[in-house]
Amino acid sequence: MKRVVLSGTGSGVGKTTISTGIMRALSKKHKIQSFKVGPDYIDPSYHKIATGFDARNLDSFFMSEGQIRQSFKQGMNASKADYGIIEGVRGLYEGISPITDVGTTSSIAKALHAPIILIINSRSLVRSAAAMTLGFKALDNKVNIQGVILNNVKSQKHYLKTKEAVETLSNTKVLGGIIRDKSITMEQRHLGLIPAVEEERIKDLIEKWGNLIEDNIDLDLLKEIMDNSQPISDTYEPIWSNNKTREKTKIGIPFDEAFNFYYKENLEALEANNAELKYFSPIHDENIPDVDALYLGGGYPEIFKKELSSNTSMLKSIKKFSEDNHPIYAECGGLMYLSKSINNESMVNVFPYESYLTKKVQGLSYTIAEVIQDNPILKKNTQYHGHEFHYSKVEYKGSNKQDFAFKMKRGVGITGKYDGLLKNNTVASYIHTHTSCIPEFAYNFTQSAIEN
């Protein structure tokens, strides 16, 4: 499988713009399957517009090396892709530890034996760009840096000087350079880039990125690098359990402007467990569809709180669904939606606590949680990995740990110690997770739907 990792030297180097532009440019003649390193919902939404295929996430905190390879193969096979393009996260070696590989882009590249193209913010750099390249190559001799892209160059003259420095002093090919241009940057909000599902105009911007890449990057050289990818190890591990629910179920999935944070593999795992996914909009539809369970993902309910609050028939139908003891699993934005209110706008009120947006980030971390009560997705006395990223709080006013399903071993959760508010057969937490962290997720959830 032909592949490449596009990695930055750090945050803010233009990695998403360049990666998405490359995906768009190559998609004009080839089938491209995109992947994103790390826990991220927003960049993959841009990838999907660029390629026409759902993006996948690869993460060595969530996944073993065998699962990384399985997820990559699964994505490539699903789209019948000619090339796999993997956008990294932050700098090539940045992860949860200052000295180990866990959570890094480099760990993904090594698990897949993938060549790496290093994207450098070369603003005001010439020879130093060569020094950076040498340093990145020297830190780990198992990584395979095959080329460099120079971003934010001042002019063609600056680009040519920096190209000469990098190729001569670090013996690394430069595939091209992008002259700095504010018109290609994208508006951001508190969780990062605006999700592409919201903005039709983003399609035009991505098309512009693709044209920019065609004009400035040697795509033939990039394809040559991918064509010469080393074979991937044939050791694979499943990303969901071999246990399978045989009876059919229907799972409701809210998907609209307010809710759109879902990992593709989580949805596939449900389908593999004989679930039919029924998509609906808490903003635009009057009631939930005829389903056996609800999976409320994250998103931006705080941005659309007035629209959500005004849809009283939807709020009532979800609350009744919970009171009737049907399974509901909610993550982050879904938790806020199930609370009493978001910034004083009424919500579903399964949990009688107010939630509100804050100016500072409240949780930004990989998480580890211990399950302290049985719930629709996990059984007591198990542990699972996940992540949290939220600028909000749920004002929990109780004092009973029995209100919660999870005890935090790493991360903040709702109280700093506990997460996963539990009521009826509804569990809602700030933790986002991936089926590779909970291989039994889909089996447990669909079985719960059958039993209730």
**Same fold across 3-227 and 249-451:** yes
Return the pLDDT at 10: 87
Q: What is the mean pLDDT of the chain?
A: 94
Model confidence at 190, in pLDDT bands (50, 70, 90)?
very low
Q: Which of 165, 258, 332, 431 is flagged as catalytic? A: 332
DSSP assignment of 306-359: HHHHH-HHHHHHHHHHHHTT--EEEETHHHHHHSSEETTEE---SS--EEEE-S
Lowest mean pLDDT among 279-283, 395-399, 439-443: 395-399
- Asked whether residue 202 carries a pLDDT value surpassing 90, the answer given is no
- Asked whether residue 342 carries a pLDDT value surpassing 60, the answer given is yes
Residue 332 annotated as catalytic: yes
Report the C-alpha gap between 149 and 6 in whole angstroms: 9
With contact defined as beta carbons under 8 Å apart, do 425 and 389 qualify? no
Model confidence at 180, in pLDDT bands (50, 70, 90)?
confident
CATH for the 3-227 domain, from 2.30.110.10, 3.40.50.620, 3.10.110.10, 3.40.50.300: 3.40.50.300
Closest CA to 173 of 231, 115, 128: 115
Report the C-alpha gap between 66 and 72 in whole angstroms: 10
Between 346 and 198, the higher pLDDT residue: 346
Return the pLDDT at 189: 47
Mean pLDDT of 260-287: 97
Model confidence at 78, in pLDDT bands (50, 70, 90)?
very high
Report the C-alpha gap between 238 and 231 in whole angstroms: 20
Lowest mean pLDDT among 129-143, 151-165, 184-198, 355-369: 184-198
b/e sequence 199-238, b meaning 16+ C-beta within 10 Å: beebeebbebbbebbeebbebebbbebbeebeebeeebee
Between 188 and 62, the higher pLDDT residue: 62
pLDDT tens for each residue of 1-27:
999 999 999 887 889 999 999 999 999
Give the domain ranges of the chain.
3-227, 249-451
Mean pLDDT of 287-310: 96
CATH number 3.30.300.130 given to 249-451: no
